[in-house]
Amino acid sequence: MTPTPPATPLLSVSALRKSFRGTPVLKDVYLDVAKGEVVALIGPSGCGKSTLLRCLTWLDPPDDGFILIDGQPFGRALVGDTVRRQGRREIDRLRPKIGMVFQQLHLWPHLSALENVVRPQVVVLKRPREEAVARAQDLLAGLGLGGLEDRFPYALSGGQKQRAAIARALAMDPALMLFDEPTSALDPELVGGVLQLLRRLAGEGMTMVVVTHEIGFAAHVADRIAFMDGGRIVEDGPARQVMEAPADPRLAAFLDLIRSGRPAA
């Protein structure tokens, strides 16, 4: 029997580098994410986790390395022996495949919750407004925001804003969702609701990379855990294995700090 060739990763990152004012932040990052996989990205503050997510969306263009989305080059392409940076149109064509929910959420304050979800569909996807409104209403209702469509961000709670931001990202029908510390700005009583929502998305097969300090989420929901330190992914493996038997002493020390309740600086 002919062996089945391995599936192309939905996201493939190789040798990614990024510096700010001459200071290296990402140093040869490698990461593959399969379709339907949930990867939790953990590590101490300042190790490059958020910068990696911004590079993956090309909001902060990487200095070197390659990103493939479902096998297609994103941002930089190798043509023969020459590296070619893609133009804005090429980048914008693939960018909607990646949804991102930022720590700061970035909801437009002058638009209602409904319009925050409708506007990107109409402007970026060129989706007819009637279709975009129907999609937005379905998502908001499914995320527990039914009846709040006309509220502006200032009139929403932290958890409601988080859900509106997630609805806006999902409305673009992304192949991959990126979450940057989705619970960091929430009051403790709201954290559980957002984690439950992420568990639901994982159960529905959404491919996700989640930067998180919620070790319980990483252990019980993520398929894999990738640990970053000093701008590199230094350990990457099945969630249970990484949690129970970390191979790298830096990861073991980091987990001990988290479990003890001390900040992982």
Domain residue ranges in the chain: 11-260
pLDDT given for residue 176 in this prediction: 94
Four-CA torsion 18, 19, 24, 26, nearest 10 degrees: -20
Using the predicted structure, report yes or no on whether residue 202 has a pLDDT greater than 50: yes
Confidence band of 96 (pLDDT split at 50, 70, 90): confident
- Least-confidence region, from 6-10, 137-141, 230-234, 240-244: 6-10
- How far is Cα 106 from Cα 164, in angstroms, rounded to an integer? 10
pLDDT given for residue 24 in this prediction: 94
* CATH number of the structural domain 11-260: 3.40.50.300
Q: Amino acid letter at 220?
A: H
Task: Report CA torsion sign: 232, 209, 55, 91.
Answer: positive
Question: DSSP E strands: which ranges in the chain?
Answer: 11-20, 23-33, 38-42, 64-69, 72-73, 76-79, 82-85, 98-101, 176-180, 207-211, 224-229, 232-238
Using the predicted structure, report yes or no on whether residue 83 has a pLDDT greater than 50: yes
| Edge-first strand listing for the sheet containing 224-229 | 98-101, 176-180, 207-211, 38-42, 224-229, 232-238
131 or 22: which leads in pLDDT: 131
Using the predicted structure, report yes or no on whether residue 6 has a pLDDT greater than 60: no
pLDDT given for residue 208 in this prediction: 92
Question: What six digits make up the tokens of 58?
Answer: 């090309």
The pLDDT of 233-250, averaged and rounded, is 93
- How far is Cα 86 from Cα 73, in angstroms, rounded to an integer? 9
The pLDDT of 205-233, averaged and rounded, is 90
